[in-house]
């Protein structure tokens, strides 16, 4: 049945499929063709072929906690529903956590998490040395806890403010406890699009340089794209091509995470959100094109549990983690899950229901618990 879908496709699409089945890299032109002409069933077959070659039927998750120290920010991104300008300090929907509150939050989840994920608004008072000291305090009571913190946007600002280069800044953070960095802030690398949606934050070149420097220092990272707004298919492929080239060079990206534009409560609310079908097509093409990044994540608080589960049939092999109800970046933008939280059992059940094998991982994808012996037979 699956192969008949491939066989019935036009010749030029079959030739792309042949490349993929032979383990060959597709070109940017091939990627654009898949965006313009690839039907969901066709793309799903190819994406699952790639994911199964890389990760079998496993779907990974971890026990993590998201902490957002503040949503006050010096930048004014048009798509952002989350941040508030510094002059809005004191508004009902703005916040600043103290370091005591941050540490207490972690201690309250101390025995249930393997990773703390720290990102938020770019606040001048929360600088390089503030966070270095915070990391030191976290490691004092949880030396084994993996600290994944700061998008390249946050890093660029705090290093610039501290008057240190990327290498020195990362060395300071690493010495105090930083283990890896997330992939946020990439948005879309195209200069013209970036100028329209996030002109005042770090450039695409700076984002790539920051991640390259992190990789050189043994700090792994993730990568993202913000899709479904004013970008074109060509913009998406160019974005992924630049990530693919850097990964060829450093091999430092663990995971790619497509982030869907949500249109509630921001300056781009007039733009209609794309459909779930387009989400799934985008996941599939991402998996096919980024042949050298090991994992593809569907961030379930952004797209909802049901769509994330569907994405497991379109190349996705990671669902992030248990999170908790503190992450507001997407709930404030109108995401389905307004209080995003799942415990381990719920995540395991969601994955099993999709006919996949759950595996709890640490941040670097070392398996902590393999649930393969517990998965029921899939009913045909």
pLDDT of residue 186: 95
pLDDT, tens digit only, all 380 positions of the chain: 567 888 889 999 999 999 999 999 999 999 999 999 999 999 999 999 999 999 999 999 998 888 998 888 877 778 777 666 655 565 767 788 999 999 999 998 867 799 999 998 887 788 999 999 999 999 999 999 999 999 999 999 999 999 999 999 999 999 999 999 999 999 999 999 999 998 889 999 999 999 999 999 999 999 999 999 999 999 999 999 999 999 999 999 999 999 999 887 777 889 999 999 999 999 999 999 999 999 999 988 888 899 999 999 999 999 987 755 444 444 444 445 545 567 888 889 999 999 999 999 999 999 999 998 764 544 43
Residue 259's pLDDT is 94
Quote the pLDDT of residue 23: 95
Predicted pLDDT at 334: 41
What is the reported pLDDT for 172?
A: 98
* Stretch(es) of the chain classified as CATH 3.20.20.70: 57-374
Q: Which two tokens stand for residue 52?
A: 């199964």
CATH of domain 57-374: 3.20.20.70
Give pLDDT, residue 331: 44
């Amino acid at each position: 049945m699956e192969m008949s879908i491939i066989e019935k496709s036009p010749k030029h699409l079959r030739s792309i499929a042949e490349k993929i089945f032979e383990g060959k890299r597709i070109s940017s032109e091939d990627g654009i063709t898949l965006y313009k002409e690839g039907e969901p069933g066709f793309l799903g077959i190819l994406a699952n072929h790639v994911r199964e070659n890389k990760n079998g039927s496993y779907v990974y998750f971890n026990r993590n906690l998201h902490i957002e120290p503040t949503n006050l920010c010096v930048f004014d991104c048009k798509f952002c529903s989350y941040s508030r300008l510094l002059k809005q300090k004191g508004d009902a929907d703005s916040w600043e956590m103290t370091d005591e509150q941050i540490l207490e939050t972690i201690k309250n989840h101390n025995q249930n998490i393997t990773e703390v994920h720290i990102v938020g608004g770019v606040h001048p008072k929360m600088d390089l040395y503030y966070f270095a000291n915070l990391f030191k305090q976290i490691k004092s009571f949880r030396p084994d806890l993996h600290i994944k913190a700061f998008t390249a946007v946050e890093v660029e600002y705090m290093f610039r403010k501290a008057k240190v280069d990327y290498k020195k800044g990362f060395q300071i953070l690493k010495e105090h406890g930083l283990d890896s960095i997330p992939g946020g802030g990439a948005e879309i690398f195209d200069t013209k699009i970036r100028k329209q949606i996030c002109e005042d934050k770090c450039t695409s070149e700076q984002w790539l340089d920051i991640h390259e420097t992190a990789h050189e220092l043994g700090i792994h990272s993730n990568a993202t794209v913000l899709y479904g707004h004013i970008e074109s298919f060509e913009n998406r492929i160019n974005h992924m091509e630049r990530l693919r080239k850097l990964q060829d060079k450093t091999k430092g990206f663990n995971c790619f995470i497509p982030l869907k534009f949500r249109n509630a409560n921001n300056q781009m609310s007039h733009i209609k959100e794309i459909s779930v079908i387009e989400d799934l097509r985008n996941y599939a093409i991402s998996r096919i094109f980024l042949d050298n990044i090991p994992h593809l994540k569907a961030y379930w608080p952004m797209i909802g549990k049901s769509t994330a589960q569907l994405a497991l049939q379109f190349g996705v092999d990671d669902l992030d983690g248990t999170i908790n109800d503190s992450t507001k970046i997407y709930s404030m933008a109108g995401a389905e899950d307004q209080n995003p939280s799942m415990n381990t059992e719920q995540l395991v059940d969601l994955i099993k229901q999709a006919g996949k094998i759950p595996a709890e991982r640490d941040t670097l994808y070392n398996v902590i618990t393999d649930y393969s012996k517990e998965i029921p037979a899939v009913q045909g």
